Chain A
């Protein structure tokens, strides 16, 4: 393979890695939007808290002298998921449930307040400096000749792919097979009607927040390890990106969020690979603005009919 092709493949791999993590975060936005029609602005912060908890767990295990990698990863993952889910549940309870059903902007402002609150909560508790994530999984598979350019899939990237794949499969099974999943689908179709038919909608809405937060925590661990450092502000941009992914794929649609995440990740890594890394955020925000302007329903979304 020529050098240019290898370079392209490398960008593609990087993009798909980041994109699959974005997709995990985007699920949280899209499920919440699908059910109660609000943008959960604090979702990026939930993801950041997941990353912090995972790092705390990893460091704690290292202090205890445990070095068996699978155990470390599983404990970190479980801890992050528990804390983030609890946070997601609490945020919904405190900031969103009391304002549900009011004018559209009121839950959004409440969510922005929550986002600022959580950012500063972690900032005050853990300091504002970025903290290094230990390199747990290193090495990778190289291909291409050593003389010119070598593309590489690192084991870390494979971990990100596989974990995302497992999570997405479990989520799809959960949504399509389980009782709560069926209730979720019913509630997202018609909240009032589902309520009349005896579904405890408050419980389902809580469950949505918990599922979204748990997936965000997985993304927090993965991206924390992938980037190698975290700080209290890193949830904000990632949250915005994931929201872009959700909108790109069609907000409210779960397969759309997966597709949107991958497209966004690839377009971002192509920008940093071929243009300049500084402008990759401009590209994703520009993409967001363009989609909202020209195709607000996204790629796989259903058009929203405004009823009077």
Chain B
């Protein structure tokens, strides 16, 4: 072992102690106005020490460990397999979508009310992630303020129902179109910017929207939010025990069944499911249309794409607007599901979660994004202890994905045509 390695390993272990001990080992306890310092439990100190030892050993034997890792893929049985043929892959994808939609259809009738509610949330995240996937995954525009469009959708429905008594079905297209309009108007000036500047500008825009919602108290109710958002109706049938609006009838009376609070939850879930499938199909179509190809071309090489005559603004703007449109969709469903919205639901962290879903799933890949949305939403619910560490793990996962597998867990494959040799 070279002395250089030893020195480096010792240094790394030392740094590990410096960055972890003061923050983890010494806890600030605030009691009223006075602050006291309290040493952490022995377990924490031991853990810090163990972490330092682990870093030391890893750095010392780094070359050996990396060598072993280099050989690992050979053990993977899938590594040697050639690429799946085009037809087979499309078939597999189709089977996957049909299976997951079938499962989603029977889901509300076999599980509890809470699980259906959670599934609705998963569907909302799927819509958001599919929308952001267009912007980030396909067009390669990093949008850190995506949640602003989600907020526009949600607030449009909440405000329209509060001031004009507009129903869910009318608000759905209005909310989505308004969000798309916001995307268009914002996109117009900012899409000239280079990738990382664009990210910061969209982040600033998202924050501005949130601050406005928070402070424009007369219109949005400020931090108190807006409550009493109506539930969706089925052809004028309401799902409450009593009919709220005159002229409407209630669902359970029309069909002569006993009232159950579950009807509403299941109905909302089915709406979300239909909208999610709609989102999936529309974006799938877009991906195969010329505009979808143009998104990818521009992402891969902007200069080459422009020299082939593509309009940079038009192509980017279309991706941005379509992404915003589906965020508005998801926002309306979200407002209707919660019945109450406040700026708290539209913080930067929410944008980061949606971005994490897209990054984990594999930018551009719809199957990957759907699976990642399910995993990211359900895991914290399954393990309560996990939910505390949720964001910590998301952050770490984003870094690790970028370092090891920037294409995501299930990377996107482009549809291609293979020329067969003529015999």
Whether A associates with B in a native complex is yes
* B23 x A106 contact (CB < 8 A): no
Q: Smallest CB-CB separation from B390: which chain A residue?
A: A120
Q: Smallest CB-CB separation from B389: which chain A residue?
A: A124
Q: Which of B22, B303, B348 contacts A83 (CB 8 A)?
A: B22
Residue B6 CB within 8 A of the other chain: no
Q: A83-B18, A98-B403, A289-B201 are in contact. Are A113 and B397 (CB under 8 A)?
A: yes
B214 partner residues in chain A, CB cutoff 8 A: 278
Residue B207 CB within 8 A of the other chain: yes
Q: Smallest CB-CB separation from A135: which chain B residue?
A: B33
**8 A Cβ contacts from B326-358 to A:** 348-349, 352, 355-356
Contact digits for B32-51, partner A, Cβ 8 Å, 1 yes 0 no: 01011100000000000000
Q: Which of A102, A105, A115, A122 contacts B196 (CB 8 A)?
A: A105
* B15 x A116 contact (CB < 8 A): no
Q: Which of A16-24, A144-152, A192-200, A279-287 contacts B (4 or more CB under 8 A)?
A: A279-287
A118 partner residues in chain B, CB cutoff 8 A: 395
**8 A Cβ contacts from A229-258 to B:** 236, 240, 243-244, 247
Q: What bracket does the count of chain A residues touching chain B fall in?
A: 35 or more
**8 A Cβ contacts from A53-98 to B:** 53, 55-56, 59-60, 63, 79, 82-83, 86-87, 89-90, 94-95, 98
B203 partner residues in chain A, CB cutoff 8 A: 240
B interface: dominant SS: helix
A106 partner residues in chain B, CB cutoff 8 A: 402, 406
Q: A107-B402, A121-B23 are in contact. Are A116 and B196 (CB under 8 A)?
A: no
Residue A132 CB within 8 A of the other chain: yes
Residue B27 CB within 8 A of the other chain: yes
A125 to chain B, nearest CB (A): 5
Show 27 residue pairs from A and B whose CB-CB distance is below 8 angstroms, ordered by the A residue: A53-B22, A55-B35, A59-B37, A60-B37, A104-B194, A104-B195, A112-B355, A112-B398, A113-B399, A113-B402, A115-B395, A116-B394, A117-B399, A119-B391, A120-B395, A126-B23, A247-B200, A276-B215, A278-B214, A281-B207, A281-B211, A285-B205, A285-B207, A285-B208, A286-B204, A293-B201, A308-B303
8 tightest CB-CB pairs across the interface, nearest first?
A113-B398, A117-B395, A116-B395, A285-B204, A110-B402, A120-B392, A113-B399, A86-B18
B392 partner residues in chain A, CB cutoff 8 A: 116-117, 120-121, 124
Residue B28 CB within 8 A of the other chain: yes
Q: Which of A83, A106, A292 gathers most chain B CB within 10 Å? A: A292
What separation, in Å, do the CA atoms of A87 and B15 have in the docked complex?
8
What separation, in Å, do the CA atoms of A125 and B144 have in the docked complex?
27
Q: A82-B18, A90-B19, A121-B392 are in contact. Are A108 and B199 (CB under 8 A)?
A: yes
**8 A Cβ contacts from A112-144 to B:** 112-122, 124-127, 129, 131-132, 134
What separation, in Å, do the CA atoms of A285 and B205 have in the docked complex?
7
What separation, in Å, do the CA atoms of A63 and B397 have in the docked complex?
39
**CB within 8 Å of B: which residues of A?**
38-39, 49, 52-53, 55-56, 59-60, 63, 79, 82-83, 86-87, 89-90, 94-95, 98-99, 102-110, 112-122, 124-127, 129, 131-132, 134, 236, 240, 243-244, 247, 276, 278-279, 281-282, 285-286, 288-289, 292-293, 296, 308
**8 A Cβ contacts from B188-216 to A:** 189-190, 192-197, 199-201, 203-205, 207-208, 211-212, 214-215
B253 to chain A, nearest CB (A): 48
Given contacts A105-B140, A288-B201, A289-B205, 19 further A-B contacts (CB under 8 A): A39-B196, A83-B19, A83-B22, A90-B19, A104-B196, A106-B406, A116-B398, A117-B395, A120-B395, A132-B33, A240-B207, A243-B200, A278-B214, A281-B208, A292-B193, A292-B200, A292-B201, A296-B194, A296-B197
